[in-house]
Structure 1
Amino acid sequence: MKANTPNKPLTSQNQNTPLNMAATYRGLQLVSHFQPILSVSHRRPVGFEGLIRSRDSRGHSLSPAVLLNLPQTSEAHLSLDRLCRRLHMHNFARQVQDESWLFLNLNAQSLVEQQPDVGFMQSLFTQTGLPAHRMVIEILESEIHDRVYLRWLIAHFREMGCLIAIDDFGAGHSNFDRIWELEPDIVKIDRSLIQSASHSSRVERILTGIVSLIHEAGSLVVIEGVESEREALIAIAANADMVQGFYFAKPRPDLYPAADYIDAIDDLLAKQRSQRFKASYQHNQDFKKIETLFRQATSHFAISNAFDISCNLLFQERRAVRCYLLDEAGYQMARNIYSPFYQQQLDKRFTPLISGDNANWSHKHYHFRAIENPGQIQVSRPYLSVADSRMCITVSQTVVVDDRLFVFCCDLDWQDD
């Protein structure tokens, strides 16, 4: 490697900052760029991903994809991969002042046939002064089909003391079984998911579920490729631990100061709280209209024991889909009673699930919460109804009729706007 000699230091704030280093490869000049990975809760970068940039002799930039396709053999791929790692680690060590991580991508093509050498990384730790626990090794697991070798590779870097990140999860053929099997420290969710979530409430819910499942598996989550305020707000709402993308910062040779992000993240958190409050307020306003009808229906049933007529009171609300009655043990007492409006929309493909005869719903939150809180209206979160495979919420309450305890339930249509 050779020292890069630009006209000015990499950061204008400190004229004593060491100059970055560059490398030459097949007539190209290679330099390091770094993109911050931000912890939402800490409101600052906790890591930086090292990204390679290249220029030809005329100063024209080459895309990373073009550069990484230049090698023709696994040995050549490994040589370039090591050159990039060496460049990133040296340039990162020259600038970093805190305990932040350096995320390093491993070229899967170089690792399929060429096993990594412990001595190479150990010498870099010594040269740069960066300890192994500051390194996050990013592996694109979908490109390594030999699972035994993939597990060995992860164990190899983990034994050094490095953290392991699975990159681009959610793209291509990513499977959750790899998460359970490989137990990465961090999972980076591919941009395609946050991009789709910004256009679809359904995908937004799926993203939240994916983050939750990864957390259950014991891994932290980075949502990468965040490029707009809406995507940033969705990532925060999905409970991502960290975020990365052009919305926050583009890759550049020097490291962004932590103070640059405090106001921006505080602003996002304030907007997310406001969105949550508005959604909760609207939900409450919508429910107040339904609550009055639901109280009328349950009171009528308690006096008359005429369930059909009681349900008709609720069907004045256009969102009311079906009513059904459960006993104290959760057994359904009769068939579902559907709103006349929704009877015309029933999907015959789900006919085996439409009838609730002899069903037992004691394991459902709308039953056991009603039993645990007699006389109090219970409102579920939105969920997919098994009766017709549509999103709904269930309103339920215990009702005593002739000294018997029942749970009166009404499903409300809760489709995305």
Structure 2
Amino acid sequence: MTELSLNEHHYETTYKSFCLTSVFQPIFSIAHRKAVGYEGLLRANDIDGRAVSPVEIMSQPTSQREHLELDRTCRFLHASNFSHQPDNNAWLFLNLNSQCLVAERPDAGFMHELMQQTKLPARRIVIEILESEIDDREYLLELIQHFRRLGCLIAIDDFGAGHSNFDRIWNLQPDIVKIDRSLVKKAGQSMKVERILTGIVSLIHEAGSLVVIEGVESEKEALVAISSNADMIQGFYFATPESDLQQDVDFGEAMDQLLQQHQNVRSQYNRKLQQHFRAFQLVFEKEVSAFKHGRAFEACGSELFDDERAVRCYLLDESGYQIGRSLYSNKYTAKLDIRFSPLLSGDNANWSHRHYHFRAIQNPDTTQISRPYLSVAGSHMCITVSQAVEVNGKMFVFCCDLDWPDEDLAID
């Protein structure tokens, strides 16, 4: 093991002409409103006491063996500094240099010795692996199984960057997946990416892993992380890396404020949705009533299409099958994207799996409004207004799609 020296309350070590030590950035549980883990990060100074970037330190080794030795030095240093501090039962997240592990195929005894010397139990160690660095799938699985046998948790780092894909998540079955900062940054700027991020979090949960969104640097990004249903959150917005564990960071109060703001945004979203719909509702219900009392469906679209938001009307039976063709507004027809023409005809289509159908069937004679979704008929965002009515002893669902501009979408 690397020789360490105790400087005041923190361990240090020398590497070539540099002095190395540890800092720890908290990882907070959104629901528990407290730090549940800390990522160990490297800090370094040269012989004159000037700060040197970790990137520069990592560029010092000239062989894979030296890379492995430096990687082990950092792990031992972080574990020693972490275990030396007051025990709060939190996790220590340790990064592995995956490339040198593949090249050297080292023996499996180092981590066991590290835990013995630092008295840090395996259950409190989360091994972070950049799975995209390892092409040898069998060895990667062996590596993960080794750490699992020791009792450690496994985290996949920087998911969403580079060549990450869900196939690896399902195969490796990590305990935790850390989503790369690039995704949350883009999601903070684009509603479309925000929806994608929420979908990614949902899929990771379905695969059986917890989710950390890292690199959160602004209030908007924090709200995006909350909206995505992530489990944990990490970033400069909440706490910078420090040499001492920041157990006194008032994350609870900050999270309460964010959750309240999140609820306010959701309420604003729902009000906006209702306003977008309310002016249209009277006309829609008038047309539905006319259909119920004998007017042909084909004659029911003209007044609805006076509203420029209305793009499509269609009629479903009780089982969800579409009856006849969809009616389109002239304005929408003029801008139809013919590339989606195979999806435009609804003849014999079945929409029983759509919320606007089954909600209407469950609540006849009551107008339903869907949340915004991507319409398969034209590939644009829309909301669907629907109502189930009985005509001559048969149940029908009268539907009308309204355009929903993507830039108007709020959080989920």
**TM-score normalised by the shorter chain: which range applies?**
over 0.9
Task: State yes or no: 1:387 paired with 2:389.
Answer: no
For residue 248 of structure 1, the aligned residue among 238, 244, 251 is: 238
For residue 375 of structure 1, the aligned residue among 359, 362, 365 is: 365
Task: Determine helix, strand or coil for the equivalent of 1:286.
Answer: helix
Aligned-partner residue type, residue 405 of structure 1 = M
Cα deviations by residue, 1:290-334 (Å, 9 ceiling, x for unpaired): 222221111111113322332222223222110001122222111
Once the two structures are superposed, the pairs formed by residues 228-377 of structure 1 within 5 Å of their partners are: 228-377=218-367
Task: Determine helix, strand or coil for the equivalent of 2:22.
Answer: strand
Taking the aligned partners of 2:135 and 2:90, their CA distance within structure 1 comes to: 31
Task: State yes or no: 1:95 paired with 2:85.
Answer: yes
Taking the aligned partners of 2:340 and 2:176, their CA distance within structure 1 comes to: 40
Quote the offset at 1:286 in angstroms. 2.1
For residue 69 of structure 1, the aligned residue among 51, 59, 62 is: 59
Quote the offset at 1:393 in angstroms. 1.6
Q: Which residue of 2 aligns with 1:226?
A: 216
Cα deviations by residue, 1:115-149 (Å, 9 ceiling, x for unpaired): 34332212221221210000000000000001111
Q: Which residue of 2 aligns with 1:3?
A: 5
Quote the offset at 1:342 in angstroms. 1.0
> Retained in 2: the 8 A contact 1:44–1:258?
no
User: Do the aligned partners of residues 260 and 404 (structure 1) sit closer, same or farther apart at CA in structure 2, a change above 3 Å counting?
Assistant: closer
Task: Tell me the TM-score normalized by structure 2.
Answer: 0.95
Aligned-partner residue type, residue 261 of structure 2 = K
Once the two structures are superposed, the pairs formed by residues 86-125 of structure 1 within 5 Å of their partners are: 86-125=76-115
Q: Which residue of 2 aligns with 1:54?
A: 44
Q: Which residue of 2 aligns with 1:165?
A: 155
Taking the aligned partners of 1:370 and 1:140, their CA distance within structure 2 comes to: 47
> Retained in 2: the 8 A contact 1:32–1:87?
yes
Cα deviations by residue, 1:155-205 (Å, 9 ceiling, x for unpaired): 010110000000000000000101111000000000000000011000000
Task: Tell me the TM-score normalized by structure 1.
Answer: 0.94
> Retained in 1: the 8 A contact 2:4–2:77?
no
Mark the runs of 5 or more structure 2 residues left unpaired by the alignment. 408-412
For residue 165 of structure 2, the aligned residue among 165, 175, 189 is: 175
Q: Quick check: 355-364 or 292-301, which moved more?
A: 355-364
User: Do the aligned partners of residues 258 and 209 (structure 1) sit closer, same or farther apart at CA in structure 2, a change above 3 Å counting?
Assistant: farther
Aligned-partner residue type, residue 288 of structure 1 = R
> Retained in 2: the 8 A contact 1:233–1:272?
yes
Task: Determine helix, strand or coil for the equivalent of 2:139.
Answer: helix
> Retained in 2: the 8 A contact 1:45–1:258?
no
Task: Determine helix, strand or coil for the equivalent of 2:396.
Answer: strand
Q: Quick check: 390-399 or 132-141, which moved more?
A: 390-399
Taking the aligned partners of 1:290 and 1:116, their CA distance within structure 2 comes to: 68
Taking the aligned partners of 2:150 and 2:4, their CA distance within structure 1 comes to: 28
Aligned-partner residue type, residue 251 of structure 1 = P
> Retained in 2: the 8 A contact 1:353–1:386?
yes
Task: State yes or no: 1:45 paired with 2:35.
Answer: yes
Cα deviations by residue, 1:44-67 (Å, 9 ceiling, x for unpaired): 110000001111112222222221
> Retained in 1: the 8 A contact 2:368–2:387?
yes
Q: Quick check: 56-65 or 77-86, which moved more?
A: 56-65
> Retained in 2: the 8 A contact 1:165–1:185?
yes
Task: State yes or no: 1:142 paired with 2:142.
Answer: no
Cα deviations by residue, 1:362-407 (Å, 9 ceiling, x for unpaired): 2222222222322222222222111101111211111222322211
Aligned-partner residue type, residue 31 of structure 2 = S
Q: Which residue of 1 aligns with 2:142?
A: 152
Quote the offset at 1:74 in angstroms. 1.6
> Retained in 2: the 8 A contact 1:52–1:84?
yes
Taking the aligned partners of 1:2 and 1:355, their CA distance within structure 2 comes to: 72
Quote the offset at 1:260 in angstroms. 2.4
> Retained in 1: the 8 A contact 2:124–2:152?
yes
Taking the aligned partners of 1:271 and 1:382, their CA distance within structure 2 comes to: 21
Q: Which residue of 2 aligns with 1:16?
A: none
Q: Which residue of 2 aligns with 1:15?
A: none
Q: Which residue of 1 aligns with 2:410?
A: none
For residue 216 of structure 1, the aligned residue among 206, 218, 222 is: 206
> Retained in 2: the 8 A contact 1:305–1:401?
no
Taking the aligned partners of 1:2 and 1:216, their CA distance within structure 2 comes to: 43
Task: State yes or no: 1:79 paired with 2:69.
Answer: yes
Quote the offset at 1:4 in angstroms. 4.6
> Retained in 2: the 8 A contact 1:381–1:393?
yes
Taking the aligned partners of 1:293 and 1:72, their CA distance within structure 2 comes to: 75
Mark the runs of 5 or more structure 1 residues left unpaired by the alignment. 10-18
Q: How many residues are paired up?
A: 405
**Percent identity between the aligned chains?**
59
